[in-house]
């Protein structure tokens, strides 16, 4: 391992939790099965994506509440809850409840910004306040205040037989230290650091240099990590988790290897240059034997500065594929990165 690399301390995985509209229970049960498998394999964390009006997990807090009752050790995360869809006070109640049920294992990841396709959903989501809603970082700050136990009401005390609190109940001490921000831009990374959050950085970042300037994914992501830590009270000890798409093939069948290679090849063109008006830059998928993937990660400038990962599972693979990928991650890739199973 190059001396500039940190041994991998925490190994996690991320799944979207796809389901068939005609049989949604099966898809959700399969997601829970993967979380249980992750715990058996020694993974440190399991994360679920969040999808509204799609065929993926729309209520990660509900899914993770179920997962908390099927597991004992593995940490459970959301990557990420888009707060434009949420009331921060109500979400704080849900997060605290799941954290209590899990024994303090919840790692909520959130993001700011307007809901996707807002013009098409605003009348259903905010029929009376659509044009007045603030989707900026202030929404995240409200959530953080409620999670930290700051007042949410101006009244507390007894009223007849009922007793009222002025802060979110249940209150779960320590949850505020496990709040993550999904940042893809330099400004968001700085903001997350300044507000004492942890940083989730994924396989998509904004190439914020001038048009035509060289854009290297690893260099851009590294700049985000360093800016985050420079603004965080914990400095270089501030937690960062990297979420690249990683597919080890050690125990894969020939058919699986062929499908995985085809999947990655179809997605490679978008990694060659920034995409769209937002100039989004995508990381290449890492597909191959674990030793080869480990070498590529050790050469990745951003990976060398993190000691936690939540490797993303491809969206459209089958359950047997995910079992093979997770097993190879835990048995072969993780140890090649210096990780030891819990």
Q: For the chain, what is the HEC assignment?
A: CCCCCCCCCEEEEEECCCCECCEHHHHHHHHHHHHHHHHHHCCCEEEECCCCCCCCCCCHHHHHHHHHHHCCCCEEEEEEEEHHHCCHHHHHHHHHHHHHHHCCCEEEEEECCCCCCHHHHHHHHCCCCCCCCCCCHHHHHHHHHHHCCCCCCCCCEEECCEEECCCCCCCCCCHHHHCEEECCCHHHHHHHHHCCCEEEEECEEECCCCCCCCCCHHHHHHHHHHHHHHHCCCHHHCCEEEECEEEECCCCCHHHHHHHHHHHHHHHHHHCCCECCCCEEECCCEEECHHHHHHHHHCCCCHHHCCEEEEECCCCCCHHHHHHHHHHHHHHHHHHCCCCCC
233, part of any domain:
no
pLDDT at position 183, please?
98
**Amino acid 179: pLDDT:** 98
Please indicate, yes or no, whether residues 188 and 211 belong to a single structural domain of this protein: no
Is the residue at 332 inside a domain? no
pLDDT at position 2 is 44
Clarify whether residues 74 and 209 are in a common domain: no
What was the pLDDT predicted at 212? 56
Do residue 20 and residue 85 come from a single domain? yes
User: Could you tell me if residue 12 is inside a domain?
Assistant: yes
Same domain assignment for residues 189 and 215 = no
Whether 319 is covered by a domain: the verdict is: no
- Look at residue 210 in the predicted model and tell me its pLDDT: 61
164 located within any domain: no
Q: Are residues 142 and 209 in the same domain?
A: no
Residues 292 and 149 in one domain: no
Check residue 12 and give its pLDDT. Answer: 98
- Where the chain has pLDDT below 50, the residues are 1-3
How many folded domains does the chain comprise?
2
Residues 108 and 192 in one domain: yes
Structure confidence at residue 214 (pLDDT): 58
* 294 domain residue, yes or no: yes
Residue 186 lies in a domain: yes
Inside any domain, residue 83: yes
Q: Are residues 17 and 150 in the same domain?
A: yes
- pLDDT of 170 reads 98
For residues 249 and 256, the answer to whether their CB atoms sit within 8 Å is yes
Model pTM above 0.85: yes
Residues 146 and 293 in one domain: no
Residues 36 and 181 in one domain: yes
What per-residue confidence (pLDDT) applies to 264? 97
pLDDT at 199: 98
Question: Same domain, yes or no, for 214 and 175?
Answer: no
Report the CATH number that the domain containing residue 84 is assigned in CATH: 3.20.20.30
Domain containing 306: what range? 203-219+244-250+260-311
Residues 125, 22 share a domain: yes
């Amino acid at each position: 391992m190059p001396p500039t690399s940190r041994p991998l301390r925490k190994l996690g995985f991320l799944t979207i939790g796809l389901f068939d509209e005609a049989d949604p229970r099966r898809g959700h049960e399969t997601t829970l099965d993967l979380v249980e498998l992750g715990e058996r394999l020694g993974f440190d964390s399991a994360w679920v994506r969040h999808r509204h009006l799609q065929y993926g997990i729309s209520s990660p807090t509900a899914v993770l509440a179920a997962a908390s009752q099927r597991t004992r050790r593995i940490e459970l995360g959301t990557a990420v809850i888009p707060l434009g869809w949420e009331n921060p006070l109500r979400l704080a109640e849900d997060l605290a409840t799941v954290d209590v049920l899990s024994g303090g294992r919840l790692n909520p990841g959130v993001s700011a910004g307007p809901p996707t396709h807002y013009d098409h959903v605003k009348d259903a989501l905010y029929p009376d306040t659509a044009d007045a809603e603030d989707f900026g970082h202030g929404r995240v700050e409200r959530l953080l205040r409620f999670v930290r136990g700051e007042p949410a009401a101006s009244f507390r005390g007894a009223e007849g037989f009922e007793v009222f609190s002025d802060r979110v109940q249940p209150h779960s001490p320590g949850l505020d230290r496990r709040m993550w921000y999904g940042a893809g831009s330099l400004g968001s990374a700085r903001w997350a650091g300044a507000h004492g959050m942890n940083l989730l950085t994924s396989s998509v970042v904004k190439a914020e240099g001038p048009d035509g300037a060289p854009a290297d994914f690893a260099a851009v992501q590294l700049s985000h990590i360093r800016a985050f830590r420079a603004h965080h009270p914990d400095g270089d000890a501030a937690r960062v988790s990297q979420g690249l798409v990683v597919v080890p093939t050690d125990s894969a069948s020939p058919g699986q290897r062929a499908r995985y290679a085809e999947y990655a090849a179809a997605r490679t063109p978008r990694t060659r240059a920034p995409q769209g008006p937002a100039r989004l830059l995508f990381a290449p998928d890492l597909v191959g034997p674990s030793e080869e993937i480990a070498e590529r990660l050790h050469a990745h400038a951003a990976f060398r500065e993190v000691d936690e990962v939540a490797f993303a599972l491809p969206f459209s693979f089958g359950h047997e594929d995910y079992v093979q990928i997770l097993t190879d991650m835990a048995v072969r890739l993780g140890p090649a990165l210096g990780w030891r199973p819990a």
